[in-house]
């Protein structure tokens, strides 16, 4: 009997499609209420740090250099209060095969797909992960399909997204380009079902575990060179996998005193699923349009339970403006002779500002860089913004309004981080959990929410009382 392929029917089959395409029965980890066994789910990845390091190195992934940005650190000290200005380092993940940290996620997923006997892999992404999956699939002799949210309704795509599609195709993938909106996951699920390929999800235990090697490696490098762990690690935050995997790797290395800071480009006021807003932003990843909702509720992803759960690990969440990231991108090139793509420069812009709050002997690490290419450069992005009616000017980044203007700092001292209210985000997560599952959480649920929000029982209970009173 032929299956119905309308949107409602396909989305209704999502659980069975996910089970067939990733071979994880997520129901095994469920409690029947809010809580689920996250750590047991992560163990389903089935690989130790040592095993993942070995499999990644065999396909050109990992062991990337830790580079000190001496000139950028000096500039930070010049505009910082006396005695302030931490040493800024970048973990140069652009040295990976495919040119980003996401090669770590893809290496683990593709290895596992090959091990289970799948003939190919599929991933839904408009980002660097597509190129990473294509690269690793080629190394393992797997077919690869990348389903990409690329265009608005006028078939206009951003330069950065077009560049990423080019990279995917160059590495042998078939790229299916779609318009913004619910079409993406509908088509993704349908293709998984039709091909029988492995779901190389960004949010599976395999994808997140693959990033653990990054945090672990970063800690080991700092200890070998400086005899201590980094004081602060800044991770660009979108879907949360980058921060989650890195933090878990740091914890496995014993670097429990390292502060984990999330950084996103401030795109507040723009809706990521809006056809009108889609091309009124100059960043396709690492922005608040993904970073905030995925932190507040991780289980909005393409698997039943996301392995990326950033609120469990972040100590601070800051935003930075688009203009500030473009400025730091140019500083990195002209002061350090290093040209990198926009995602890592988001956390670098934040680190430049945060370093000015820290003592000179402290170490702050930007935990990833990415490759750059024609559509990722500053100029095509700014030209595209102008074509879409966005005003580009020099001034104070505090005056930037997403979707209306991009303000390039007229002086580096104007680059400032803006803190997001983590407690507000934590309460949002708790509220969604209550409304999704039950308004009468069990003791197990309370314990789970404490871990989810990196708080304590008192905080969770008070939040539950407030939420119930407001409803």
pLDDT tens digits, one per residue of 327-385:
999 999 999 999 999 999 999 999 999 999 999 999 999 999 999 988 999 999 999 99
In contact, 339 and 71? CB cutoff 8 Å: no
225-251 pLDDT, tens digit each: 999 999 999 999 999 999 999 999 999
Which CATH number is 350's domain given? 3.40.50.1100
- What pLDDT is recorded for position 384? 94
Say whether pLDDT at 79 is over 80.
yes
Last residue of a domain, one of 378, 400, 419: 419
Q: What's the confidence (pLDDT) of residue 1?
A: 58
**Residue tagged 């995925």 (tokens):** 294
**Is 1 part of a structural domain of the chain?**
no
- For residue 64, the 8-state DSSP code is -
Whether 32 and 139 share a structural domain: yes
Specify whether 176 is located in the same domain as 140: yes
pLDDT higher than 80, residue 182: no
For residue 286, pLDDT over 70 is answered with: yes
One domain for residues 93 and 170: no
What pLDDT, on a 0 to 100 scale, did the predictor assign at position 402?
Answer: 96
Tell me how far apart the 2 most distant CA atoms of the chain are, in Å.
Answer: 74
Res. 301: pLDDT tops 90: no
139 falls within a domain: yes
Place of tokens 């939420």: 467
The pLDDT value recorded for residue 44 is: 83
**Counted domains in the chain:** 3
* pLDDT for residue 323: 98
- Joined together, the tokens standing for residue 25 give 């029965």
Read off the pLDDT of each residue in 412-420 and give the average, rounded to a whole number: 98
Shortest CA distance to 419 belongs to which of 331, 314, 327, 343? 314
Contact present, 10 and 189 (Cβ < 8 Å) = yes
Are 190 and 5 spatial neighbours (Cβ–Cβ below 8 Å)?
A: yes
220 within a domain of the structure (yes/no)? yes
Mean pLDDT of the chain: 95
Which pTM does this prediction carry? 0.96
pLDDT for position 64: 98
Q: What values do phi and psi take at 25, rounded to 5?
A: -90, 95
- Are 319 and 370 in a shared domain? yes
Q: Which domain holds residue 434?
A: 424-470
Q: Are residues 342 and 280 in the same domain?
A: yes
Q: How far is CA 381 from CA 185, 199, 402, in A?
A: 27, 31, 14
Question: Same structural domain for residues 94 and 150?
Answer: no
Tell me whether residue 386 is in a domain: yes
Domain termination residue (choose one: 204, 226, 258): 204
318 and 344 part of one domain: yes
Q: What is the mean pLDDT of residues 91-106?
A: 97
Distances (CA, A) of 47 to 74, 252, 397: 41, 13, 44
| 163 lies in the same domain as 275 | no
Q: Residues 382-409: pLDDT tens digits?
A: 999 999 999 999 999 999 999 999 999 9
One domain, residues 216 and 257: yes
Pair 193, 243 in one domain? no
Do residues 292 and 273 both lie within one domain?
Answer: yes
Cβ partners under 8 Å of residue 294, min gap 6: 238, 239, 240, 300, 301, 306, 308, 310
- 246-282 pLDDT tens trace: 999 999 999 999 999 999 999 999 887 788 888 889 8
Residue at token pair 């000139």: 71
* Residues 251 and 390 placed together within one structural domain of the fold: yes
């Amino acid at each position: 009997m032929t299956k119905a392929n309308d949107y409602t029917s396909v989305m209704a089959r999502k659980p069975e499609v996910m089970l067939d395409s990733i071979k994880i029965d997520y129901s095994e980890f469920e409690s029947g209420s809010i809580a689920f066994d996250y750590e047991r789910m992560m163990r389903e990845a089935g690989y130790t740090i040592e095993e993942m390091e070995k499999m990644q190195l065999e396909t050109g992934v990992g062991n990337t250099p830790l580079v000190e940005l001496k000139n950028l650190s000096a500039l930070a000290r010049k505009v910082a209060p006396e005695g302030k200005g931490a040493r800024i380092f970048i973990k140069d993940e652009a040295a990976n095969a495919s040119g980003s940290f996401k090669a770590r996620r893809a290496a683990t997923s593709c290895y596992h797909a090959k091990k289970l006997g799948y003939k190919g892999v599929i991933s839904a992404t408009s980002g660097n992960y597509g190129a990473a999956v294509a690269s690793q699939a080629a190394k393992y002799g797997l077919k690869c399909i990348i389903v990409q949210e690329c265009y608005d309704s006028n078939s206009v795509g951003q330069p950065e997204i077009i560049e990423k599609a080019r990279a995917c195709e160059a590495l042998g993938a078939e790229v299916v380009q779609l318009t913004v909106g619910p079409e993406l996951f509908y088509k993704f699920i349908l293709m998984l079902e039709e091909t029988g390929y492995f779901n190389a999800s960004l949010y599976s235990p395999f994808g997140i575990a693959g990033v653990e090697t990054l945090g672990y490696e970063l800690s080991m490098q700092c200890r070998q060179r400086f005899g201590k762990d980094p004081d602060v690690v800044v991770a660009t935050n979108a879907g949360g996998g980058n921060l989650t995997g890195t933090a878990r790797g740091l914890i496995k290395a014993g670097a429990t005193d390292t502060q984990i800071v999330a950084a996103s480009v401030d795109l507040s006021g723009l809706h990521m699923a809006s056809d009108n807003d889609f091309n009124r932003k100059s960043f396709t990843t690492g922005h608040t349009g993904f970073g905030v909702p995925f932190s507040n509720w991780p289980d909005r992803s393409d698997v039943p339970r996301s392995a990326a759960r950033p609120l469990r690990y972040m100590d601070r969440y800051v935003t930075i403006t688009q203009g500030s990231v473009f400025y730091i991108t140019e500083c990195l090139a002209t002061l350090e002779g290093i040209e990198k793509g926009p995602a890592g420069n988001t956390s670098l812009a934040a680190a430049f500002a945060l370093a000015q709050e820290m003592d000179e002997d402290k170490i702050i690490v930007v935990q990833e860089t990415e490759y750059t290419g024609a559509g990722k450069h500053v100029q095509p992005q700014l030209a595209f913004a102008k074509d879409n009616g966005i005003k580009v000017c020099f001034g104070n980044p505090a005056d930037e309004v997403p979707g209306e203007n991009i303000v390039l700092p007229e002086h580096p001292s104007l680059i400032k981080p803006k803190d997001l209210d983590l407690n507000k985000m934590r309460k949002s997560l708790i509220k969604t959990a209550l409304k999704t599952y039950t308004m009468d959480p069990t003791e197990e649920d309370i314990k789970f929410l404490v871990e989810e929000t990196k708080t304590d029982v008192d905080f969770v209970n008070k939040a539950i009382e407030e939420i119930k009173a407001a409803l």
